[in-house]
Chains A and B, each alone.
Chain A
Amino acid sequence: MAKLILLWLKCVILYNAVGAVFEDQVGKFDWRQQYVGKVRFSHFDTHVQSSKKVLVATENNVFAALNTRTGELFWRHVDKSGPEGNIDALLHHGQDAILVVGNGRLLRSWDVNVGGLNWEIVLDSGSFQKACLVGQQGTVKNVAVLKKNIISLHYLSNGHQKWIENLPESETVDYQTVYSGGNGEVYALGIVPHSHVVIIAYSTDDGEIIKQISVEAPWLSNIVASCAVIGQGVLICVDSATPSLYMCDLHLDTHDLQMTQIPLQSLGLEVAPDFQPVLVSHQPNSAHQPLSEFFLQLGPDNFLLLQLNNGQIVTLRDFKPALLVSFATTGEKTIAAVMSPKNKTACSINLFSAETGRRLLDTTLIFVMDPNGGKPEKIYIQPFLKKDDSVGYRAMVQTEDHTLTFIQQPGRVMWTREEALSDVVTMEMVDLPLTGTQAELEGEFGKKADGLMSMVFKRLSSQLILLQAWIAHLWKLFYDARKPRSQVKNEVTIENLSRDEFNLQKMMVMVTASGKVHSFRLFFFFQLFGIDSKTGSILWRHYLEDVPSNAAFKLMVQRTTAHFPHPPQCTLLIKDQDTGLTTLHVFNPIFGKKSHVNPPALPQPILQSFLLPLMDQDYAKVLLLVDDQYKVSAFPSTKNVLQQLQEMASSIFFYLVDSSQGRLSGYRLRTDLSTEQIWEVVIPMEIQRIVSVKGKRPNEHVHSQGRVMGDRSVLYKYLNPNLLAVVTESTDTHQERSFVGIILIDGVTGRIIHEAVQRKARGPVHVVHSENWVVYEYWSTKSRRNEFSVIELYEGMELYNSTVFSSLDRPHAPQVLQQSYIFPSAISTMEATLTEKGITSRHLLIGLPSGGILSLPKMFLDPRRPEIVSEQSREENLIPYAPELMIRTEWFINYNQSISRVRGIHTSPSGLESTCLVVAYGLDIYQTRVYPSKQFDVLKDDYDYMLISSVLLALFFATMISKRLAEVKLLNRAWR
């Protein structure tokens, strides 16, 4: 029966369905960009000549197949984020791709064609070292996995373990790599640093140790970094101290095996100072031996192609300068690709025969580097045999800014992927500037009247401009219509960017932060992207290095585009979370150029930063920064600003949160820009900790002051702009004793307006604070479900002071209403829609782990929902209370365009009151518009022009006919 009632409720709810997508709107104003993250391993699918796939495994724990022609995804598998989903190795054989995941926890085999899993097995615990494919008699049937203390062999067909062996003396010997040359033996190579190398050969069939040798190598500390196996099983190592090469044959069965030393000087070679030489070898097929040719890197821009020929090292070719090298095999041919710098903005890639080192003709490819981007980091070569048996190729270049570029000869870029956009940390939407014509039109109304004649003249001239623009537009339409569709490209460039009629197109400024490893050190960098919200194309980008590793970012719009000729201005605040030291980056959000305004140097750690509604004489909003001495500095800090600040000082309040001490404190600005503390709230650290503090969005408008009740009285909202919602979680995580608390504090006076505790609940808590309500979501440990709770604040039936809200003069405590609901899914993030004037009803946008973004009308989260329906509640259109909120797929604003790992949703008002622009970002980026109350201010898409015109025409003819009939009738009557 309960189910029946529930379903009945569902049906009731259906009637109120608002805000959904129509099928014909697909792709009209929304777009999605799917990313994979920074590529860690990549293989071209070569088992079919015509294959268009490139497999990538990334640092974001994503395994995907990209289309080499378009750069789009064939399929993508997003694993758990964090170390448990970390991809340790990618091996590729035929149709199968083998992944080692989670520090050697799982071994997975994927079917590359379908994108489905072949098998997945759990490996024994132990830290993963290396995996390799093992072949026998020309076919690859097994995969070997080397861990800290064990080695195991698995069948490729089903993942079953063939054998597993403990590695001898694994406490002292550090086993680092595993090698198989396809002759029925698997070699595990271990090292005791600065002492000796341990070589153990296992039989592929049963895991029996065939031989165990140790070789003296007191100069060696790491096999992976300085050794490689080449030719017929020859281990070759490079030592930078001597400097020389060392060789030993793994297949030799003598017990007093020695490493033969070949000084680099004897080859006429020299290592660049302070450089650790690197060896690059290549094994085209795991069932066969590796090549006897290999690369030796002697300096940052110096590579050598060497060959092992009858125990002698021969230099085939010296590449200097060269940035990157790579081997690739097609058919029987193996080639070496070398990327060398050409000039400051371009590199050239050339192919060389691996056996001889001769340059292959007509294989030059030019790679043009973005001056705002990073340097090339890796190249992946996809060679293919042309009809005349010569080698052609395509190259995928990965640069330091995580961009993937796929190029074809002679340098045509087939596609680029900005993988940095999978790590967006914050974003902002900025209005586009007006065009010249628009600005002129606006100017007409802006200026004061000069006189009748000039006004008339101006009016006429502006009409003329409009006419001109319209004709130009028509002409363009006509011109475009004649061209075939494929040629018509609405290329958006910075030059032709302009605001549209309803301000629906905006500039998305996105900040991405990601780490990169450079010479074994982790660096962080961030990039700024300017993206056109209509098409999703990247209009500008800015690459900045040397960012502290755990920086927090805050992006603020100081000046919008509304103040021509002053350029718009954005400020990015980069704060090192350890030290609190902060730098500012000021830029123009439309063009991405760094502003000529010099940000102040901030020697002191910054505790708090906020934008004031004050403006300087150049219309830039004032940014106030509070340092650890509680001193305030302003940016911009002109005389005008300081004067304004002095006047306003007594009404400028701010709050500080110290979550490590559980302290919230409020301060007031003094006229000399020092501060005084006026309140402090301490939350006992032993019991609970502050998780988040949420204020209201400064650009939020509330249209209606109250709600009309069923009996025609008005319930006024408590609209305190200074209200803060503080969320706490208990330090005790036991499921019986854990709780989630929410405290509503007035940020000016420190008065606690309301306090609520959810017992037997734990985080993560997602909060939205807006208008007079706070919605939060938590996990109920008792019932093991996600729950939503809503708090609404009302002043009561009378408004104390209807003209202005002051925190200092509000004697009555607000009425607090609260209700909770069950939500049938976990959530990733939550945000509320925002419109220009706040007339439109609000929706909550909820990012779900399944990839959907649910648009849940706020009226479902209304604490006034009655349990028993009365006449009055029906009059008010309140939905009867139901404990469970529904997830209806019709409410998914992104229909089947699911977005992986949604981290944030950004909402921004447009020029239309009905429309709110939404950008969801995570691994993917999705942009759309939502109409929480339908499109009430523009004609709908499905507006029936045919109907209205036919009705008009019909009425017109009807009047004509009836007029005629009336005339006839009058005439007849006159005759009578």
Chain B
Amino acid sequence: MWHRERIPLLLAFVQSVLVVGWCFTEMEAGPGAAMSTQTNGDRFKIEGRAIVPGVKTQDWVSTARVLVDGEEHVGFLRTDGSFAVNDVPSGSYVVEVVTPTYRFDPVRVDITSKGKMRYARLVNYIKTSEVIRQPYPLQIRSSGPHSYFMKRETWGWTDFLMNPMVMMMVLPLLIIVLLPKVVNTNDPEMRKEMEQSMNMLNPNPELPDVSELMTKLFSGSKGSSKAGSSSKGTRPAAKRR
């Protein structure tokens, strides 16, 4: 049970280190960026830029939108990936760049009632007061394409052979076939010894349910073969019913 969770944990750790690392690097870039304040009455503007590394902006801006607090305010991306959401009153907002293909992390932007002091931070819904500063105007970098699809479970010989059920079937077979050849069954002493050991193995009333044993073995093996890739592991869920 433990070993299959260890790898994702490790991955998660690496991921979180990466995330933290990012905010540090971007913090440095932060103060250099200009804070343009164009006020319109008591309405303000949220500015920023979205970047998909390695992809031309023309290829994705037409499907993208900037959503502020759901669909409360909507902005569109310019052909160079920058955006400005106009007419936003003061308050605290979650700004999100939405495209069907690329994933962007949401950012919280706070606009004070005077509209002058505003800052961006990572969204943390649990500890709402925690502030990890982000540069403003926003620099939102895509963390890659969305993964919408599950991988099909493919069938391979190794999977099949390493399956404990198969092992359980093959090993006794080997024992049945090979043991008589190794041990001389005609020897009366040996036979006695074997009978004794057979008695030891005789049914135990405390023995757990066979089917349960099977499922445990089965699910355990499934996990071990897939601990690396996260999106699998469908079998245990289906069994739950």
Contacts and interface: CB of A to CB of B under 8 A. Distances in A.
A4 interface: yes
Contact of A114 (B79, B98, B128): B79
A14 B231 contact: yes
Interface stretch (B6-14, B184-192, B194-202): B6-14
B148 A3 contact: no
Interface stretch (A480-488, A572-580, A689-697, A818-826): A818-826
Contacts of A10: 12
Contacts of B12: 4, 7-8, 10-11
Contacts of A17: 150, 231, 233-234, 237
B28 to A, nearest CB: 22
Interface in A93-117: 102, 105-106, 108, 111, 114-117
A936 B123 CA distance: 39
Nearest to A764: B70
A700 B132 CA distance: 47
Interface residues of A, number: 73
B225 interface: no
B70 to A, nearest CB: 3
A942 B241 contact: no
A117 B75 CA distance: 10
A164 B224 CA distance: 71
B46 interface: no
B72 to A, nearest CB: 8
B234 A934 contact: yes
B73 interface: yes
A173 interface: no
A16 B19 CA distance: 25
Interface stretch (B29-37, B56-64, B111-119, B134-142): B56-64
Given A7-B12, A826-B71, A889-B147, A896 B78 contact: no
A150 B217 CA distance: 79
B126 A883 contact: yes
A77 interface: yes
A934 B233 CA distance: 13
A896 B61 contact: no
Given A15-B237, A17-B231, A3 B67 contact: no
Contacts of A901: 71
Given A4-B13, A79-B74, A936 B238 contact: yes
Contact of B149 (A16, A784, A895, A936): A895
Interface string B49-92: 00000000110011101010111111011110001101100001
Contact of A849 (B41, B70, B79): B70
Which of B8, B9, B15, B103 has the most chain A CB within a 10 Å cutoff?
Answer: B8
Which of B61, B128, B149, B231 has the most chain A CB within a 10 Å cutoff?
Answer: B149
B2 interface: no
Contacts, number: 177
Contacts of B146: 889, 896
A784 B106 CA distance: 14
Given A11-B9, A933-B238, A947-B155, A822 B148 contact: no
A24 interface: yes
Interface in A843-897: 849-851, 877, 883-884, 889-890, 892, 895-897
A2 B127 contact: yes
A21 B15 CA distance: 25
Nearest to A3: B16
Given A10-B12, A936-B241, A111 B233 contact: no
Nearest to A941: B152
A944 B159 CA distance: 15
A119 interface: yes
Contacts of A849: 67, 70-71, 98
Nearest to A782: B128
A210 interface: no
A16 B83 CA distance: 38
B215 interface: no
A824 B124 CA distance: 9
Interface string A900-934: 01000000000000000000000000000000011
A657 interface: no
A894 to B, nearest CB: 9
B241 A933 contact: yes
A75 interface: yes
Given A7-B15, A18-B238, A120 B84 contact: yes
Contacts of A81: 71
A22 interface: yes
Nearest to A74: B62
A785 interface: yes
Contact of B241 (A12, A102, A106, A841): A841
A699 interface: no
A78 B65 contact: yes
Given A3-B16, A826-B70, A850-B96, A114 B236 contact: no
A10 B74 CA distance: 30
Contacts of B128: 783-785
B153 interface: yes
B211 interface: no
B152 A942 contact: yes
Given A15-B237, A824-B123, A896 B86 contact: no
Contacts of B5: 8, 11-12
Nearest to B12: A7
Nearest to B130: A2
A850 B237 contact: no
B149 A116 contact: no
Contact of A22 (B41, B150, B230): B150
Interface of B: 5, 8-9, 12-13, 15-16, 19, 38, 40-41, 45, 57-58, 61-63, 65, 67, 69-74, 76-79, 83-84, 86-87, 92, 96, 98, 100-101, 103, 106, 123, 125-128, 146-153, 155, 223, 230-231, 233-234, 236-238, 240-241
24 contacts: A4-B13, A7-B13, A8-B12, A10-B12, A14-B8, A15-B237, A17-B231, A21-B148, A21-B150, A22-B150, A22-B151, A23-B149, A105-B87, A115-B61, A118-B78, A122-B38, A122-B45, A824-B123, A828-B70, A839-B241, A851-B98, A884-B126, A934-B238, A942-B153
7 closest residue pairs by CB, A with B: A826-B70, A115-B62, A7-B12, A116-B79, A895-B148, A11-B8, A75-B62
Given A114-B79, A784-B128, A942-B153, 14 more contacts: A2-B126, A8-B12, A21-B148, A22-B151, A75-B63, A78-B74, A114-B62, A115-B62, A785-B128, A822-B125, A822-B126, A889-B148, A933-B241, A936-B241
